[in-house]
Structure 1
Amino acid sequence: MRSIFFYLLLLIPTVAFAVPTIQPAMLPLGTGTDATAAGTARMVGAMLEYTRWPTARPVVRFCLAGNARHAGRLADISLSNGAQLQFSSVTGSASARSEGCDALYIGRLDPGPMQGLIADTRGQPVLTIAEDDPDCRSGAIFCLLYAPQTLSFQLNIDAVSRSTVRIDPRVLRLSKGGY
């Protein structure tokens, strides 16, 4: 009996390493001057596709805040349900709620104003995407993660639970971390 137990203990490390690790979905960015902007547009378009608002949106009011370095091609997004994107900027003391945003894309912004914008969306049907928050601590639903030649994202489940938008659960499997 002891020998069987001993051999089972020897197998535990093998079994632990045999479990496949989940890798986040990484979008290759390609080459060119606007490859990062094009990849960002593809990734954000997919995020919009997997988001459900409480009521259908024939027009998605897409707001931009801060210095969005990789947002140059967001106007290229085409949604499969035929919904159109209507772009506007959130500046100064304006809030995403007062601007009527359905999606809020936040570029480079100091932590205080960024967290204030995101806090203003809690309990509201607003998809929040942070471009410049690699640790995903701002409270945005999605945080874009840029690496050399690739783009991935983190999904903040806590932020999803505080919002009234719903994200397809399959997205969790594609995200990095998903916390």
Structure 2
Amino acid sequence: MKVAAPTSGRVTSRGRSLMAALPLLFGALASAESKPTSTLAEQRATAVTQVVLGILSYARWPVEPEQLRLCLVGPTEYADDLVKGTTQATGRPVVVRRLLAGDPRIANECDAIYLGQLSPDERAQLFSAISGHPVLSISEADDPCTVGSVFCLRVSDRQVAFEVNLDSVARSGVRIHPSVLQLSRRRATQP
């Protein structure tokens, strides 16, 4: 599946809203100075949550779920805030739960998966299980973003950035707004 390009310069009000919100969602990516009273780990977890929720808000499933089901798979370092669950800016609730990598429910009961540390075999089994299902995958671990994951987070002391695997986007069955893809390219080229 290809990501659709914007149509001939015509911007709908929804498109303007998306474009206006994009910097807000991704521009406030964590800086170490943002909350002097919280620990660096808490700041990273908050920043990761903002980025993940931003990514999810720019994704479209073939059938939009009333509540978005985000599954955390494998040991994670920055998912503490995600575990609490939340509501997207659109008002759609995000229900979060942890599942084991081999859990057969992942393909049918998760709209998105947030991957922590998994062995190569666990990753292969997981991506095989979700193949053909509209599931968005976001990888937290130090992933080269070449196999399986649609988004790969890059967490540092100063910010949370991400890379996009366009082949995985095409195979995921989930459409991603082109602005998010462009944002990942700009962040990848910044020093």
Q: Same fold (TM over 0.5)?
A: yes
- Bigger-Rg structure (1/2): 1
Stretches of structure 1 lacking an aligned partner (at least 5 in a row): 1-23
1:149 is displaced (CA, Å) by 1.5
Q: Is the 8 A contact 2:134 2:174 kept in 1?
A: yes
> Deviations along 1:49-106, whole A, 9 cap, x unmatched?
00001112111111111101100011354312211112222215213215x1001001
Per the alignment, residue 69 of structure 1 pairs with 77
Determine the C-alpha separation between the residues in 1 that align with 2:120 and 2:31: 27
Alignment partners' CA distance in 2, 1:76 and 1:121: 23
TM-score normalised by L of structure 2: 0.73
- One-letter code of the match for 1:48? L
Matched, 1:79 2:81: no
Query: Are 2:177 and 1:175 equivalent residues in the alignment?
Result: no
Equivalent position of 2:66 in the other structure:
58
What is the root-mean-square deviation of aligned Cα atoms in Å? 2.2
State the aligned residue count: 154
Deviation at 1:144, TM superposition (A): 0.3
Output the amino acid matched with 1:131: E
What CA distance in whole angstroms lies between the structure 2 residues aligned with 1:160 and 1:90?
Answer: 23
Secondary structure of the corresponding residue to residue 148 of structure 2? coil
Residues 92 and 114 of structure 1: CA distance in aligned 2, closer, same or farther (over 3 Å):
closer
The letter of the residue matching 1:86 is V
Aligned to 1:131: 140
Taking a change above 3 Å as real, the CA distance of residues 60 and 88 of structure 1, as seen in their structure-2 partners, is same
Alignment of 1:2-151 (within 5 A): 27-31=29-33, 32-33=38-39, 34-74=42-82, 75=84, 77-91=86-100, 93-95=102-104, 96-98=106-108, 100-151=109-160
The answer (yes or no) to whether the contact 2:67–2:93 under 8 Å persists in 1 is yes
Instruction: Show structure 1 runs of 4+ deviating over 3 A.
Output: none
Q: After superposition, what is the alpha-carbon deviation per residue over 1:121-176, rounded to whole angstroms, capped at 9, x for unaligned?
A: 22211110000034113310000011232110001110010011100011111114
Identity of aligned residues (%): 32
* Residue range with higher mean Cα deviation, 106-115 or 87-96: 87-96
Aligned-partner residue type, residue 44 of structure 2? T
